[in-house]
Amino acid sequence: MTFERSKEIAHSVQRELIMYRDLLRDERTPASAKLFLGLARIQTTLGKTIRLLWNPEQDYQKTRRAGTKERWRLIQSRITGTSSLLDVGCSSGVMTALAAEVGLFAIGLDANWEVISDACKKSKPNLSLAYIHFVVTPQSVAALPVCDVVLCLSIYHQWHREFGHEGAQQILYILGTKARKRLFFEPASKQSRYGPKPPAFADSDERSIIDYNHGMLGALFGNENVEFLGATTASRSELVRYLFTIQMQP
C-alpha cells in the first residue's frame, strides 16, 4: 500500500514539473529559460529515481526486443536435438516461451514475482512451459533441475554485485552441472554493473570483454568447450552484449 502510494506521489510530482516546465517554455524570457532548464534537469533526475525505485529491471526484455530476437536466433543455431531448457533470470519469459514454441520443455525462473506472474498470464495454452518464482543464491542454486540447455543471460553481474566474485563463480559453475548439453552465458559489458570489485576488462572494449569472459569460462569449463557466438543489440548505455555458449561434456 505504502509502496503504491509513494509511486503515485512521485508520478504526480513529475506531472506537475512537466506542467510548470511547459508554462515556462511559453514565456520566452531569459529568466524563464534558465528556470525551464533547471526544471527539466529535476524532472530527468526524478524520472531516473522513479525507474530505480519502482521499476528495477522489471521487464528487461521489453527494453531489449531487437536484442532478444537476435540472441534467440544465435541460441537456436546451437540447440538442435535438445528437448528441455532452463532460463535462469527469465524476466518476462520471452526467451522461455520461444523455446516452448519450438517444442522444448521449458522452465523460466526469476526472483521478481511481478515479472513471473506477468509471464504466466501472457503464456499461450498447450505448451510445455512453466514459470517459477525462485531466488538463485550460491546455496539455493543446487536445488535447480538438470535440463539439456541452461540460459544464464544478463544476470551474472547481478550475482557478482550481490555475492562477490567467488559467489557468482560458484553459482555459474553449479549451473554448468545443471546443463546436460549446453550452457549459454551473456555478461554485462560495463564494469559498474558488477559492484565494488569488477572483473578486469575495459568498458565497452569488445576485445577485452570477449577475452576476459572467454578466459573466465574456459577456467570453469575448459577452453576447448567455450565458443563466442556474437554481439547483440543491448541498450543505450551498453550498445551491445556478447553471447557465449559452452558445450558440456557427457
Ligand X SMILES: C[S@@+](CC[C@H](N)C(=O)[O-])C[C@H]1O[C@@H](n2cnc3c(N)ncnc32)[C@H](O)[C@@H]1O
Q: By CB under 6 A, tell whether 158 contacts ligand X.
A: yes
Give me 14's grid cell: 513529475
Q: By CB under 6 A, tell whether 183 contacts ligand X.
A: no
Query: What SS3 state is found at 9?
Result: helix
Q: Are strands 179-186 and 240-247 parallel, antiparallel or unpaired?
A: antiparallel
- Least separation, in Å, of the C-beta of 244 and ligand X? 13
Cβ proximity to ligand X: between 135 and 142 the closer is: 135
**Judged by CB under 6 A, which stretch of 19-27, 37-45, 122-130, 150-158 contacts ligand X?**
150-158
Find the binder of ligand X among 153, 168, 172, 231 (CB under 6 A).
153
- Least separation, in Å, of the C-beta of 184 and ligand X? 10
Alpha carbon distances (Å) from 162 to 132, 157, 193, 207, 242: 21, 9, 11, 26, 22
Give one DSSP letter per residue of 132-172, joined into a string: EE----TTGGGGSPPEEEEEEES-HHHHHHHHHHHHHHHHH
Find the binder of ligand X among 24, 39, 43, 60 (CB under 6 A).
60
Q: By CB under 6 A, tell whether 85 contacts ligand X.
A: no
Residue type, 126: N
The answer to whether the Cα torsion of 118, 119, 125, 126 is positive or negative is negative
Find the binder of ligand X among 82, 91, 169, 189 (CB under 6 A).
91
Q: By CB under 6 A, tell whether 111 contacts ligand X.
A: yes
Residues near ligand X, by CB under 6 A: 57, 60-61, 68, 89-91, 110-112, 115, 135-136, 153-155, 158
